[in-house]
């Protein structure tokens, strides 16, 4: 298993769920889910297997060697089977904040969207708030999946900003909604 230099713990678990540093073996599943869910991602085209291989070889592999990587990505597992991935992205090491990113197996979204988002948040927050002692986490969501806001807000995130007509979606401009949560261990 790969490991991040910046983390003392590499695995975070809750019952049958865990996150571990992103695994090479999950790259094709991740590619499939990203392409199926491109509508809510900052991704402007369908990815190819070659794109994914290049990304893992050139970007992902280097993250494990850095003292302060720009992102920490994890495979999200249920009973050691990858059912999603995500992590801390757009990390600002000076101000001690990051954005949360997460996608799950598309087939699980209809029934288990809220459950897996909630579990993932419970697993990623100790990485940011305990391991890294970050001050703030945020989410950045195109306003195309309003059901995500209830999940995020029930986990203690507060709507911080609305960027009006910030992204072009199917020929129409959509808002971007930003939620935030502060590290309550610092208070």
pLDDT in tens, the chain (187 residues): 899 999 999 999 999 999 999 999 999 999 899 787 665 555 556 768 888 888 899 999 999 999 999 999 999 999 999 999 999 999 999 999 999 999 989 898 888 989 999 999 999 999 999 999 999 999 998 877 778 899 999 999 999 999 999 988 778 898 999 999 999 865 4
The domain segmentation of the chain, as residue ranges, is 12-139
How long a stretch of residues is the chain? 187
Q: Check residue 143 and give its pLDDT.
A: 79
- Which residue is associated with the tokens 């999950």? 26
What CATH number was assigned to the domain covering residues 12-139?
3.40.630.30
Q: Check residue 47 and give its pLDDT.
A: 64
Q: Check residue 187 and give its pLDDT.
A: 44
pTM for this model (two decimals): 0.91
């Amino acid at each position: 298993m790969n490991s991040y230099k910046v983390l003392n713990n590499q695995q975070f678990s809750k019952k049958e769920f865990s996150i571990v540093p992103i695994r090479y073996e999950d790259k094709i599943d991740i590619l499939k889910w990203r392409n199926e869910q491109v509508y809510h991602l900052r991704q402007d085209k369908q990815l190819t297997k070659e794109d994914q291989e290049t990304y893992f070889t050139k970007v992902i592999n280097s993250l494990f060697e850095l003292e302060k990587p720009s992102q920490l990505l994890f495979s999200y597992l249920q009973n050691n089977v990858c059912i999603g991935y995500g992590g801390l992205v757009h990390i600002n090491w000076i101000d001690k904040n990051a954005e949360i990113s997460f996608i799950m197996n598309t087939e699980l979204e209809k029934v288990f969207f809220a459950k897996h988002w909630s579990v993932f948040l419970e697993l990623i927050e100790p990485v940011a708030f305990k391991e890294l002692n970050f001050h703030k986490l945020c989410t950045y969501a195109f306003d195309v999946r309003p059901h995500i806001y209830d999940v995020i807000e029930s986990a203690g995130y507060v709507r911080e900003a609305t960027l009006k007509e910030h992204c072009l979606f199917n020929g129409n401009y959509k808002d971007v909604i930003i939620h935030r949560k502060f590290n309550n261990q610092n208070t």
